[in-house]
Structure 1
Amino acid sequence: MAELLMIIVLIWMPETYSPLLLTWKARHLREITSDPRYRSILEVEDVSLQSDFYYLPTPGPADSKGACRFFDCIVSFDRTYIFTDTYHISQRLTNVIWIAMYVGVILGELLVPFLYRSLKKNPLASREIGKASSQKIPPEARLWFAMLCGPALPVSLFWMGWTSYASISIWSPIMATTLFGYAILSIFISSCMYVIDAYDILSASALGFMTFSCYITAGVMSIVGLSFYENMGIQ
């Protein structure tokens, strides 16, 4: 599906990066007027490869999207140790317990309209959050959702780890999984919206760099994760 969408995007999605559009326009004007003075900012500035790397957008806070993927990888590894090894349920039922995390995601989604509706109704308070003078909601206001719901992430992980005993009901780690899904959605939405508002025209590059960083972390965890849990244990 991803490959199909990539082909569709490459063929039919129009270019939207304004500096590149101006470059194309300047080139067209040079062709029809024979006037070499038509130049875009990309053509005028002497941009080297070194400066391209220097100005690459840096990823957001380490506990935003990177943490989402990082802890998501951790939860993926420990589910077998908790539900299959500790509670001795089948692999099929262990997979079904993923529904608990999606319940938490849905609960988080229910809070989104209420929070941002309040910001929209009170632009003065929104401007005060970011100390901005424009009518546009400052990027910092996007982080309220993560600030309010983010603490649920460490709580859910400690809850899941410290109650994963055969003597404790299996519903305890299941409910912790629900809280984990709730926290993950909160941090994910807030961090992405913050980066989009903060980087503006460069937001696609910033999000891409964040995704690249978190997948590198997840890839490393996939190598060391199994040995980690076997040696350290769930708690």
Structure 2
Amino acid sequence: MVSPLASTIIAPGTDLVMKEFSAASSVVSAMITSVYILGYAFGPLAIAPLSELYGRTILYNVCNLVFLVFNIGCAKANSLEALIAMRFFTGIAAACPVTIGAGSIADMIPHEKRGAAMAAWVIGPLLGPAIGPIAGVGAYVSGSIGWRWSFWVVSIAAGASGLLILIGLRESHAPTILESKTRTLQKNTGNASLTSALHSGKTPGEAFRFSLLRPVKMLLLSPIVLVLSLYLAILYGYIYLCITTFPRVFEQKYGFTRGGGGLANLGIGIGSLLGLFMLGAVSDRQVKALTARYGGDPKPEYRLPGTIIGALFVPAGLFWYGWTAEHKAHWILPIIGTGFLGGGMVIAFMATSTYLVDTFTVYAASAMAAATVCRSLLGALLPLAGNDMYDELGVGWGTSVLGFISVVFIPVPFLLYRYGERIRESKIFKVTF
């Protein structure tokens, strides 16, 4: 929750940042928020393979410390350039829980119970960005005691959560646990020839190079990872585009104060919660029902029917939000539209993420890293064009363009439900490992 919350908590205060540093560019203003997400795009490429070599726990603890240090640097920044640079490196470290959290779940939770566990985990990546502006404004952080306190609030939360993780988190990655036991046995018995049953046979250097390339190979060679990464990228981009343009829509069109503009994110937040509870309640039951109907072992494709609902909600929410805001209908109507958008995004995000985890299991961290890189790039870059797009097309047609793009992806869950198993059994799929 802390990691994605930090991505947007400064969004309502960007005008104060721009004023303090005497800057006026709308692109630079959006970059203060989106450069953090750009860090998300680079961090997973190293974090995921390192977690599959050295375990999850050490990565969590190191990245927590790096995140805290650079976030404090944001609070102390004495120039706009320093702030943007610090935000970028904070984003790299912040990618850790988003990248390997799903891998930790795959380590510990059996397939038939994984849907509920993923629902709990996905609260952070999806609600964090929506809560960030509410937290920053609702507590009068940006407008009352200064924008720098947005970063101090995050640093306090990061320090507390980092301490809990340092004290309470135990290793879950099976090869790492078995390798540690093997070294203990070698020391106690003096038998250096003992090896872990899960050892790959590669030297540490070879294993790292192979693991480092795995997310890239998955993204380029696996149709499943490529298509779902593009879909998740579009959904993630929409979240950040909405958050960075809400002040424009609700403060300029509806006359909301800075506090009220931040609370406009409640639509996405409440919609996301409802979608989360809906899919979390039915995901594991759906897998059990389909497994009983068709016999055999549960298949990853049994997670996908929920994605179909999300794929329909997303464009519906976009069209609703865009045109009610364009015609300046009552302010509650565009917020309800963003509720459908939030619900659709969380359903699609959770179902596709769980599908990737079920498909790649021990390599789930690499699969999620590939998806995180793709979605973070779009999440960082799309908001930079948001204000210019609305200047040219207006809120109605500008948001409709996004809606039409999401309509193109409606058939994706249908196609993967039908042909996903055939793709998984192909030779090109197996080569990605």
What TM bracket, shorter-length normalisation?
A: 0.7 to 0.9
Q: Deviations over 1:61-96 (max 9, x none)?
A: 135433332110111133233222223333333322
Q: Secondary structure at the match of 2:199?
A: helix
Matched, 1:51 2:210: yes
> Partner residue of 1:124?
292
Matched, 1:14 2:170: yes
Matched, 1:91 2:254: no
Matched, 1:150 2:311: yes
Give the drift of 1:166. 4.1
Q: Relative to structure 1, is the Cα distance of residues 102 and 43 closer, same or farther in structure 2, using a 3 angstrom cutoff?
A: closer
Q: Secondary structure at the match of 1:163?
A: helix
2:296 to 125, 130, 133: 133
Q: Deviations over 1:90-123 (max 9, x none)?
A: 3333322322223322432342224543443452
- The structure that has the greater radius of gyration is 1
Q: Relative to structure 1, is the Cα distance of residues 2 and 198 closer, same or farther in structure 2, using a 3 angstrom cutoff?
A: farther
> Partner residue of 2:199?
42
Q: Relative to structure 1, is the Cα distance of residues 3 and 194 closer, same or farther in structure 2, using a 3 angstrom cutoff?
A: farther
* CA distance in 2: counterparts of 1:2 and 1:195, whole angstroms: 28
Unaligned stretches of 5+ residues in structure 1: none
* CA distance in 2: counterparts of 1:100 and 1:147, whole angstroms: 21
Greater Cα offset, 102-111 or 184-193: 102-111
What is the root-mean-square deviation in Å for CA atoms of aligned residues?
A: 2.8
Greater Cα offset, 181-190 or 63-72: 63-72
> Partner residue of 1:188?
349
* CA distance in 2: counterparts of 1:20 and 1:197, whole angstroms: 20
Aligned length: 228
Percent identity, aligned pairs only, is: 19
How high is the TM-score relative to the length of structure 2? 0.47
Moved over 6 A (4+): none
Contact kept in structure 1, 2:309 and 2:344, CA below 8 Å: no
Matched, 1:160 2:321: yes
Contact kept in structure 2, 1:103 and 1:178, CA below 8 Å: yes
Residues 61-80 of structure 1 correspond to what in structure 2 (within 5 A)? 61-80=228-247
* CA distance in 2: counterparts of 1:203 and 1:3, whole angstroms: 27
* CA distance in 2: counterparts of 1:223 and 1:103, whole angstroms: 26
> Partner residue of 1:220?
381
Contact kept in structure 2, 1:108 and 1:185, CA below 8 Å: yes
